[in-house]
Each structure stands twice: as structure tokens, then as C-alpha cells.
Amino acid sequence: MSFHTPDLTQHPPRSPRVRLGGYVMLPRSLDKARAKLAGKIGEYLFPNPLDNDLLEFAGVAADTLLEAVKSGKSDTEILAWINAHAAPKRSAWEISAWSTWMETLTPGNIRRHTMTADTLTKLAPAREDIHTLFDRLDLDDYACFGGKP
């Protein structure tokens, strides 16, 4: 792999909020895919349910995305690849609406995402500002690498 391969045993992937081409989760998924190919994924999974949500919406399969990532493409090149291979093609407003919807999901409010209030209480009992699934992922990433929730 190249110099831009993240080592997810040393630091978390990018936040799920970071967008590429309007897609939330895409930079995070690319970090995990690159780390998986390099054997540096640590405790993370690719694809996981959120990666699968992104891939389903974008209209590409995980294995074909991994092949594109394996070729050493940059984030910008992967975005162009997704736009060329997506089925169906998505317009900018669709991507924006989907990304905004994803940012507002609460833990456990859709199938496959089962973070419960009990788990949040164990992770950060004094925190009352964790409302969305992305809040929970950011908190979990921070805590897993030594941060105090």
C-alpha cells in the first residue's frame, strides 16, 4: 500500500461526518478499506452495517470498491470511480438528503444498528450530549484511543 494507508491500530478512521462528494461515511469507509488491505484495520470492520448502507445507497458493491481501493486510487479518484459505476446514478440533492438523514440517525433506530442506551451509559455515564449514531461513533473512537469520555 502507499504512504496514505491509515493504521487503525494506532488511530481511528475519519469521523463518519466527514464528507467526500457530499457522501457522509465515505472517507471513513475508505480509511477502513485501505487499512483492511494493509492488515492494519485493528478492531474495525469493513464492511460493517454503516459501510453497507453507504455502498447500497451509492450503488456499488464492497468487493468492487475494495478492488478500486487496492489499485491505489486517491479519495478523489475513488469518488470519480463511484460516480462512474453507481447504479442508480445519484444527483447532488439525493446525496445531500441521504447524508443529512444519516447524520440524524439515533443509535438503534434502524435495523442493523443496535447501539442501546445501556451501552451508551456504560461508555459515558455522565454524557447527555450523545444523541446520534455519529455522536456515538465519534465518542467510541475517542475513548478507544485513550480519550476520557
Give percent of the chain with pLDDT exceeding 70: 85
Give the chain's mean pLDDT: 87
Output phi, psi for 24, to 5 deg. Answer: -70, 160
**If pLDDT is split at 50, 70 and 90, which confidence band does 23 have?**
very high
Q: What average pLDDT does this structure show over 19-38?
A: 97
Q: What average pLDDT does this structure show over 106-131?
A: 64
CA distances from 51 to 28, 44, 118 (A): 9, 11, 24
Over residues 31-75, the pLDDT tens digits come to 999 999 999 999 999 999 899 999 999 999 999 999 999 999 999
Cell output for 65? 470498491
Q: What average pLDDT does this structure show over 98-124?
A: 70
Whether residue 145 has pLDDT greater than 70: yes
Cell output for 128? 447527555
Cell output for 138? 465519534
**If pLDDT is split at 50, 70 and 90, which confidence band does 5 have?**
confident
Cell output for 106? 439515533
CA distances from 114 to 33, 40, 84, 108, 111 (A): 23, 26, 33, 4, 7
Distance of CA 63 to the CA centre of its chain: 16
Higher confidence at residue 91 or residue 128? 91
